[in-house]
Amino acid sequence: MKRSPLRSVHGCGARAVLLCLLAGLLASCATPPAAPTAAAPPAATPAPAWPLTPPGTATALTGAGVALTAAPWSDLPGWSQDDFSGVWQAFRRDCSARLPEPLAKVCARAASVPADDAQAQRAFVQAQFAPWQIQTPGGKDAGLITGYYEPVLHGSLTRAWPYVVPVWGMPADLVPRSPGGDGISGGRTSWVDGQQRILPYWSRAQIQADPAVQAALDRKTVVWLDSAVDALFLQVQGSGLVRLPDGQTLRLSYAGTNGWPYKSVGRWLLETGRVKGTVTMSIIRAWAQMHPDEVPEMLASNPRVVFFSAALDTDPQRGPSGALGVPLTAMRSIAVDKRSIALGLPVWLSTSQPYDGGATTPQPLNRLVFAQDVGSAITGAVRADLFTGTGDDAGELAGRMQWPGRMWVLLPVKP
């Protein structure tokens, strides 16, 4: 589920375009809070009797920009407190994908573990993996943890008020282009001075200003939405569900982009003085409702356009598909930089989550997650975007997820 970062209204694929909104939207415009206080680690557990993963296996599953330090399970904040809810679902989905050989062998050994026995699952993980703390080559072990989600929108397969905002499929004239200093990787074929050249594809502002280009793209519309702001959030997250008037559900999945770099509309609101302080998804929506005439200008500030594929969905509860090709599991799937961490790897995540109820400070969030997605704004070794689920509540949580955190990758210890 490649996503566009909207972190300041992922996109970054679900997929490149949970930052990448509100995570994307938000990460770029809000000031990260001070690092949370980690939960006290559990009592030390015996070190494994077998050798830890040899360097060759580690480097095959992690990138050159990652430094690994072996750690006992007792170093993982909250390891014994994780209830493992949803872990086996996410793990078995992992195992349905094409994985590197070391992980595929672990999956084969997991077939006998009961799906409803959290204790047996935890014992299996501790027997099959060893934790390695992720650091940058410079020794930095803390990074940014954000969130993304799957929005639920309202739309129609035909254009009729109020469904007048198009979600476009991949245009036929979009071709790859070697980016220069402009960073634009999407192109279109054009004749210039009698020679055929690949020019940058249309930016969002150019599309908005050219009725002929709009008309050509409209012929590739996969669904019509009732809100331009919802369409923006959809592009940031990279996937979504659309409720149709007849009660059916359409699942939208990331198909590609016009190749332009993402720019945060949240930052645009701040830099132009239209909004002060922290920008959230709710603030962007409220501002748009109060300034409808300025919404096109806000949208045009982000030149990137995301294109989608669509299919009728008979199981909206399954979750969107991530870059690994498996459905994501709420609060157990993360997007990572696959140049640093191989997709499919289990990761121990230690960060915070927004407070709720009567709490006045962020609460610890320590859990086993799986690298199953990527995002264009998710770059670097200690960086993750947590999939919070589907719908408004998940969106509210994702929009407030922006905390320092640490990560331990779990690497196989047996051949």
390 within a domain of the structure (yes/no): yes
3-class SS letters over 203-220 = CHHHHHHCHHHHHHHHCC
Nearest-CA neighbor of 407 among 390, 378, 393?
A: 378
The pLDDT of residue 354 is: 75
The pLDDT of residue 68 is: 92
Tell me which amino acid residue 415 is.
P
Full DSSP string of 372-384 = EE--TT--SSSEE
The pLDDT of residue 281 is: 84
Beta strands in 160-305 (DSSP E): 165-168, 175-176, 186-192, 195-200, 221-225, 239-243, 249-257
The burial class, CB within 10 Å (0-12 / 13-18 / 19+), for 381 is buried
Which residues, other chains included, contact 388 with Cβ-Cβ below 8 Å and sequence gap of 6+? Answer: 147, 148, 149, 330, 331, 394, 395, 397, 398, 401
197 within a domain of the structure (yes/no): no
CATH number (domain holding residue 310): 2.40.40.10
Given a cut of 50, the residues of the chain with pLDDT beneath it are: 4-55
19 within a domain of the structure (yes/no): yes
Question: What's the total number of domains in the chain?
Answer: 1
292 within a domain of the structure (yes/no): yes
- Rounded-to-integer distance, Cα 401 and Cα 382, Å: 16
Q: Give 234-280 pLDDT, tens digit per residue.
A: 999 999 999 999 999 999 999 999 999 999 999 999 999 999 988 88
178 within a domain of the structure (yes/no): no
Secondary structure letter of residue 75 according to DSSP: G
257 within a domain of the structure (yes/no): yes
- For 143, the token pair is 């990074």
The pLDDT of residue 376 is: 77
- Expressed as residue numbers, the domain containing 403 is 1-39+48-170+220-415
Give 195's strand partners. Answer: 192
Whether the model pTM is above 0.85? no
Secondary structure letter of residue 155 according to DSSP: E
305 in Cβ contact with 204 (< 8 Å): yes
386 within a domain of the structure (yes/no): yes
Q: Edge-to-edge strands of the sheet including 221-225?
A: 165-168, 221-225, 152-156, 239-243, 249-257, 306-312
- Rounded-to-integer distance, Cα 396 and Cα 398, Å: 6
216 in Cβ contact with 206 (< 8 Å): no
1 within a domain of the structure (yes/no): yes
The pLDDT of residue 64 is: 73
- For 190, the token pair is 């054009």
The burial class, CB within 10 Å (0-12 / 13-18 / 19+), for 397 is buried
Q: Are strands 143-150 and 383-390 parallel, antiparallel or unpaired?
A: parallel
The pLDDT of residue 16 is: 37
- Rounded-to-integer distance, Cα 355 and Cα 363, Å: 6
